[in-house]
Amino acid sequence: MIPLEEARAFVLHRCPPPVPADVDLRSALGLVLAEPVEAVESVPPFDNTAMDGFAVRAADTADAPVDLSIIGTLAAGSVSDREVGVGEAMRIMTGAPMPPGADAVVMVERTKASADDTTVTIEIRVEVGNHVRGAGEDLRSGQEVFAAGTVLGPAHIGVLASIGCRQVPTYRRLRVGVLSTGDELVMGTPGPGQIRDSNRDALLALLEAAGMIGVDLGLVSDDEEAIEGAILAGVAGCDAVLTSGGVSMGDFDYVKAVLDRIGDMRWMQVAIRPAKPLAFGLVDGTPVFGLPGNPVSSMVSFELFARPALRSMSGHTDLERRRVVAVSEGGLDRHPDGKVHFARVTVDYSDGTYMVASVKGQGSHQLTAMASADGLAVLPDGDGVVDGGAVEVLLLR
Ligand code: AMP
Ligand code: MG
């Protein structure tokens, strides 16, 4: 067996670098910037009012309350070239550009217009710049908006829209093929000895949750030729391929045999539980992850090996799930076996402390327990963690 870190380093080291590609802003969520983005416009583009109210000369309000004559109304989207003179006020709506002459806005709640709407009583004294949003207060033209490496979230998308950046220099969103292998697997109603294929859907969902495009490569039987054909088709059309099943010690575990033959492959027995076997290699330069078949193992293997590697191929530098130290409720039992165990746990955060508890059913075939797990508690080789003891946990959500 080899240590987890060695296996992970091996995989990460062999994965190709991210590929730059300009994408439409609408398709950029979750992607990583390959280049810095510069503002070619200022935001806001002009001085404007942050409030509905009256644009005035601040000096006119020095002896408030004071009556000023109303010279017009300015809506957002329109521009006034009428200057606001001494003793004058212009009614103005949020977002409208400041009219010339005015240097402050009095919010409507602090004003009272006359019945005939010719004068307004300004009730308070305001300073120059009151409720005025200055041009370029958010972004100045020429300024670097986001550095290379920035992960684009909804607010980043909004900022890019605000400066008219509709084509974004990102790293390409990965297309990752998913293949199931096993004579016992079916899509329809299982016959005697058969089960439904669940790994393919779970892995496609894990990819989608990771912001990648899952490509369904289908289900193949334990047949070398069929497996080879499916893997070759996969690497031809995808940035990476995930297979599940066929990498253990069984008589019909052909995935590792095929990868050995057509790829530059290493088969590893990693000192972890679940997900001990892993085949990883390059076929025609494309990474292929031979994940174990047991449903929980394939998901844990994805978390520990595929997800970090695929994130690095997407330009992320933060590859791992967040790790926190938690307190065990009820303890987490295990026995020494030379492996690090990843126990499925619920995670609750209360009063500044993470609390974890084992979910029922820690078998690698018990996928329902995986569904109720919020995290994977990391149990180093030994006897586990006692009730109330500290344990590190990888947060899955
Ligand atoms: P293997 O690694 O091929 O020996 O498979 C280990 C276990 O995982 C066996 O019980 C398989 O039936 C099961 N298994 C393999 N692939 C899948 C799959 N796609 N969906 C559900 N169970 C699977
Ligand atoms: Mg199998």
With contact defined as beta carbons under 8 Å apart, do 314 and 212 qualify?
yes
pLDDT confidence of residue 339: 98
Q: Hey, what domains does the chain have and what are their CATH numbers?
A: 4-19+172-313 (3.40.980.10), 20-43+137-171 (3.90.105.10), 48-133 (2.170.190.11), 323-395 (2.40.340.10)
List of residues 6+ apart from 142 with CB closer than 8 A: 38, 39, 40
Whole-number Å distance, alpha carbon 201 to ligand 2 midpoint, is 17
Ligand 1, residues 194, 195, 220: which to mutate, most atoms within 8 A of Cβ? 195
Ligand 1 pocket, residues with Cβ under 6 angstroms: 180, 182, 184-185, 195, 197-200, 244-246, 248, 250, 253, 292-295
Whole-number Å distance, alpha carbon 201 to ligand 1 midpoint, is 13
Closest to 215 in 3D by CA, of 239, 189, 191, 246: 239
Whole-number Å distance, alpha carbon 295 to ligand 1 midpoint, is 7
Whole-number Å distance, alpha carbon 360 to ligand 2 midpoint, is 26
Distance of CA 68 to the CA centre of its chain: 53
pLDDT confidence of residue 7: 98
Residue 298 CA: distances (Å) to CA of 29, 36, 111, 227, 383: 27, 37, 67, 18, 25
Ligand 1, residues 201, 206, 294, 296: which to mutate, most atoms within 8 A of Cβ? 294
By CB atoms closer than 10 A (0-12, 13-18, 19+), residue 162 is middle
pLDDT confidence of residue 36: 98
Q: Which atom of ligand 1 is nearest to the CA of 247?
A: 2
Q: Which atom of ligand 1 is nearest to the CA of 277?
A: 2
Per-residue pLDDT in tens (0 to 9) along the chain, 397 residues: 999 999 999 999 999 999 999 999 999 999 999 999 999 999 999 999 999 999 999 999 999 999 999 999 999 999 999 999 999 999 999 999 999 999 999 999 999 999 999 999 999 999 999 999 999 999 999 999 999 999 999 999 999 999 999 999 999 999 999 999 999 999 999 999 999 999 999 999 999 999 999 999 999 999 999 999 999 999 999 999 999 999 999 999 999 999 999 999 999 999 999 999 999 999 999 999 999 999 999 999 999 999 999 999 999 999 999 999 999 999 999 999 999 999 999 999 999 999 999 999 999 999 999 999 999 999 999 999 999 999 999 999 9
Whole-number Å distance, alpha carbon 182 to ligand 2 midpoint, is 4
